[in-house]
Amino acid sequence: MTREFASVGVVGLGTMGAGIVEVFARNGIDVVAVEVTEAALERGRATLIGSTDRAVAKGKLAAADRDALLARVDWQVGLAALHAVDLVIEAIPEQLDLKQRIFAELDRVCKPETVLATNTSSLSVTEISVATTRPNQVIGIHFFNPAPVMKLVEIVRTVVTSAEVVADVERLCARLGKVDVTISDRAGFIANALLFGYLNHAVSLVEARYASREDIDAAMKLGCGLPMGPLALMDLIGLDTAYEILDTMYRRGGRDRRHAPVPLIKQMVTAGLLGRKSGRGFYTYERPGSPVVVPDDQTPVGAESTLEAGARGIAKVGVVGSGTMATGIIEVFAKAGYEVVSVTRGAEKSGKLFEAVKTSLNKGVVRGKLGEADRDAALGRVTWSATLEHLADVDLVVEAVIEELSVKKALFASLDEICKPGVVLATTTSSLPVIDVAMATQRPADVVGLHFFNPAPVMSLVEIVRTIRTSAETTATAKAVCGELGKTGVVCGDRSGFIVNALLFPYLNDAVKMLEASYSTADDIDHAMKLGCGYPMGPFELLDVVGLDVSLAIQRELYLELREPGFSPAPLLEHLVTAGYLGRKTGRGFRDHTRR
């Protein structure tokens, strides 16, 4: 028999609980909102009133609708008030013993047919359900924060949850205007299992002082289009909450080291640095609860010391290569006012490269982003050459040739002989060790990585990769050049994947392992990450775009260098690549693109 859920109870009225109350009340459902004390109840009421008042001020909710919404909420202290509701959703802190006590009491108070649900994001729904005499009527309904805005709901069934209960809750989610994914009871479910491994990895980069908090956050926002950087997101979630989720997933999820909380997280929690809620976490905030970041009163966690040396002056730039990346880099430097010497193998390649740059600049004119005079001036700044000797008087050389170490090393050895002293030599490699290239020269202090993202004229991120031999002056020069180009330069060490690939591809690999384990479908996993975390693309959509072969090669490099078991490439990914399923480039990957 289909349940209608005419009335719903919500236990716990913090940010999440108050948001869940709003979701139901907005959709015409009567809600009994319950807390343990009058003070906590008033805080929950204030949260709901504040949220609805903001919606009215922004024109997203009519004043009359707000008043009707608030009238549907019955504010009560104590679980006894839930005796007549059809569904109860618990949204209290992530502590198993506390949730079990609440569910045991709900089992006693509520009518026999009432469905009991937990909003847990990491704990075992099964372990919560056994505290009741009705485990077949216990289910996970995991809303995402802020609940009134986020579309995703993870419906978590245990091995004994009734199929009718699952179907009724799925219909309820549709009634609420939510997109649900139904999954089994596993640590972290979909979104948190993928998200928190990535967040934990980002914290490990800060702990190792591999890159600063600002550069890590900027890299993931600009390089991957994410709504927030991982460290700012950790502050928003709360480091104490993040620690509990990671610890639970580590203990319940097979003790995967990807989910073992980085020691820095526990140290910060112990020190009271919980993120926005306490006013300080990885960043410092205007006041507790404020989203406004203010300058730190001391050296922030993970920040690098200020570079002692100043930047060298750069007026003339050499670009070596003839591919798409070289085309984009030439355009970027020429438009920024630099004199550019383009070097390719032969006059024919130079001619083709000239046409490619001209075509790209013409597109800018057609789109109104560039004037004809600016286009002509940019082209006039470029000298086209087929010999490296024309780089003898440049101040910076950017190499953009094939990703083969032997080729790059031979090129840098030649540049070492040709270029004048003090010239910065930069490689655009995205995967090779920069130190190997640097040591092909007699001037490793002048060698740095400048990893532009494709297409270079559009993407605003550049990873500046310093080796253990790169001088502070060279790094400062690279940073200054990026600023002149209108790019955001993020500085990191010389380690496989740099920042973006090091954080992105293990997350993609985790998604493949989740699919491989038949835990969920590719579509539901993509929905979870797009709707639950605000990602521009789901992991399988992105894998098909990047190319499964490219993804596998990068993941192998990460695993070979770091030897982290959790980074070992998913067998399913290897099998698909072997079978020729490479993504969009072949028409088949995780999805069939031949019919699109």
Q: List the beta bridge partners of residue 463.
A: 451, 490
* Pair of tokens at residue 351: 């001619």
Of 90, 154, 214, 541, catalytic? 154
How does DSSP assign 367-416, residue by residue?
A: TTSS-HHHHHHHHHTEEEES-GGGGTT-SEEEE---S-HHHHHHHHHHHH
Contacts 24+ apart (CB under 8 A), 170-179: 171/2, 172/5, 172/87, 173/141, 175/27, 176/23, 176/24, 176/27, 177/27, 177/151, 178/23, 178/151, 178/152, 178/153, 179/151, 179/152, 179/153, 179/527, 179/531
- Annotated active-site residue in 142, 201, 259, 451: 142
Q: 427 has which bridge partners?
A: 399, 449
Structure tokens at 109: 């108070």
* Tokens at 300, concatenated: 């922030």
Contact (CB, 8 A) for 91 and 146: no
Cα–Cα–Cα angle for 116, 117, 122, rounded to 5 degrees: 145
Contacts of 285 (CB under 8 A, 6+ apart): 235, 276, 279, 291, 292, 293, 294
Owner of token pair 């940010």: 15
Give the position of tokens 């009724």.
168
Q: Which residues contact 53 (CB under 8 A, 6 or more apart)?
A: 66
Instruction: Please indicate whether residue 121 is annotated as part of the active site.
Output: yes
> Which of the residues 7, 51, 119, 121 is marked catalytic?
121
Q: Which entry of 7, 122, 129, 192 is annotated as an active-site residue?
A: 192
Taking the C-alpha atoms of residue 198 and residue 196, their distance in angstroms, rounded to an integer, is 5
Closest C-alpha to 423, from 377, 351, 474: 474
> DSSP class of residue 258?
G
Q: Of all helices (H) and strands (E), which one includes residue 273?
A: none
- Residues with a catalytic annotation lie at 121, 142, 154, 192
